[in-house]
Amino acid sequence: MNEPSHRFWDTIIKAGTALAAIAVFVPSFLQYKSESANNVLMIELERGKFLLQQSKDDIKSLSEAIKTVRLIQFSKTQEDLVKAITKFWQLYWADLAGVEDKNVELAMVKIGEIIKDNKINEINNQLGNWQSNKILDDAAKKLNIACLNQISRIKKDIKKLALTEP
């Protein structure tokens, strides 16, 4: 084979090899990009599901705080009062930890102080005084408002999340 013919075929082989490499690479790259985009969508979907469940759990805990304080206020028996106070401390130390905003936290602390100040005397002696405790009533109202405000904000966040989901 003469020199020009050799160069010609060498160029053709190199060009053919490059075209073959491109032909293999492009579909593989496109498939990778597609799978990568699907993976991102799946991760975002799972993240959204987690945030939605977390928000529902937060709403449940805040609602439970309102209910529990009402039970403390209006318990008819010592047994009900003891159960409500026990539930309050569970919410205080566990369920609401990391969930509550500053207003809910302050209201819960105030109610906790009232319970600590009155617990032994009220449970052992005068159950009815819990119902007429103005300080507890005021703290319960503040907690109710704070919890409802936070629940409202969580629900707005859920709506935003639903609007931004892919």
CA 117 to chain centre: 33
In single-letter form, the type of residue at position 15 comes to: A
pLDDT in tens, 105-142: 999 999 999 888 875 445 445 555 555 578 888 999 99
> What is the predicted pLDDT for the residue at 124?
42
Burial 5-20 (b: 16+ CB within 10 A, else e): eeeeeeeeeeeeeeee
Note the pLDDT of residue 106: 95
If phi over 0 gives left and psi between -120 and 50 gives alpha, with beta otherwise, what is residue 77?
A: beta
Instruction: Please choose, from the candidates 118, 71, 112, the residue with its C-alpha nearest in 3D space to the C-alpha of residue 93.
Output: 112
Residue 135: CB atoms within 10 A of its CB come to: 13
Highest-scoring range by mean pLDDT, 111-115, 144-148, 159-163:
144-148
Q: Which of 18-22, 100-104, 134-138 has the lowest mean pLDDT?
A: 18-22
Rounded alpha-carbon distances, angstroms, from residue 47 to 33, 83, 94: 21, 36, 24
> Which carries the bigger pLDDT value, residue 78 or residue 104?
104
Distance of alpha carbon 104 from alpha carbon 110, whole angstroms: 10
73 vs 109: CA distance, rounded Å: 16
* Number of structural domains the chain divides into: 1
pLDDT band of residue 164 (cuts 50, 70, 90) is low
pLDDT digits (tens, 9 = 90+) for 22-75: 777 777 777 767 777 777 777 777 877 888 888 899 999 999 999 999 998 888
Q: Tell me how far apart the alpha carbons of residues 87 and 72 are, in angstroms, rounded to a whole number.
A: 10
- pTM, 2 dp: 0.68
Can you give the pLDDT at residue 161?
Answer: 73
DSSP type of residue 97? T
Give the whole-angstrom CA distance, residue 84 versus residue 75. 8
Which tokens is 143 given? 């907690």
Domain extent at residue 137: 3-164
